[in-house]
Amino acid sequence: MKVLHLFLAVFLVAAVPSFTPASEIGPTEQLRPTIDKVIEILVDDSLKGKENKEERRSRIMEVVTIGFDFREMSRRVLGATWHDISADQQDYFVTQMTKLLENVYIGKLETYSGQAVDFVAERVKGKRAQVTTIVEHQGQNLPIHYIMQREQDRWLVYDINIEGVSLIRNYMEQFRSILRQESFEGLLKIIEEKNQSFADNDEPA
C-alpha cells in the first residue's frame, strides 16, 4: 500500500506539445511543462467533484498519453510473453494496461494538495535518460526518477522509480507470478475484471 501512495506523483510529469522542435530540447524540458498543465486541471473548480470525474480524467489522460509510452510499458511488464501473443492481443493488452494505470494512479493524483515538484538532475546516455525530481510527501523530500527513451524526436517515459521501487518491475513480478499458474488469457481476464471493478465503483475497494 505504501508503494501505491508513493506513486501519487507519477503522472504529474509528462510531455505536452511544444512549439519548440522536440529534437532541440532534452528530456527535462519535455517533462517540466506538464506539471503546470496537470495541476491546472486538478485545481480547476469546474472539474472538481464526482460529477466531473469523467471529464477530469479525460483531460489528464490527454496530457499523460503524450509523454508516456504505454506500449513500451506494457511490453516490459509482460516480458517474454509479449513475443508469444499476436499483434491484436498486444494491442488489446496495451489498452487494458493503460486503463489499469489510469484507474490506479490517476485516482490517487486527484488527492493532490499543492505539493511542490522540483527538477534536480538529468542524466542522458544515448537514447536513454533519467530525470530526477523531488516531491514533498508527508513532510519529507521524495526523489522520483523518470526513466525515458527517445523515440524519433520525442523523449517518452517508460518507467518510474521511487525509493528503489520500479513501477514496471513491480507489475512485472506480479504478472510473472500470475502467469506461472494462468495463461495469458487468464492474466488478461484478471486485469479486465480489475478495470471493471473501478468502473462499477466510485472508489476502488
pLDDT tens, residue by residue, 10-69: 555 443 343 344 456 899 998 887 767 888 898 888 998 889 989 999 999 999 888 899
Mean pLDDT score of the chain, rounded to an integer?
Answer: 85
2-16: pLDDT as tens digits: 554 455 445 554 433
Q: Record the pTM.
A: 0.82
For the chain, give every domain's residue range.
2-200
Percent of the chain's residues with pLDDT above 90: 55
Domain 2-200, CATH homologous superfamily name and number: Tgt2/MlaC (3.10.450.710)
**Whether 98 contacts 91, CB under 8 Å:** no
More confident residue, 11 or 97: 97
Distance CA 139, CA 205 (A): 27
Which letter, b or e, does each residue of 141-171 get, where b requires 16 or more Cβ atoms within 10 Å of its Cβ?
Answer: ebebbbbbbbeeebbbbbbbbbeeebbbebb
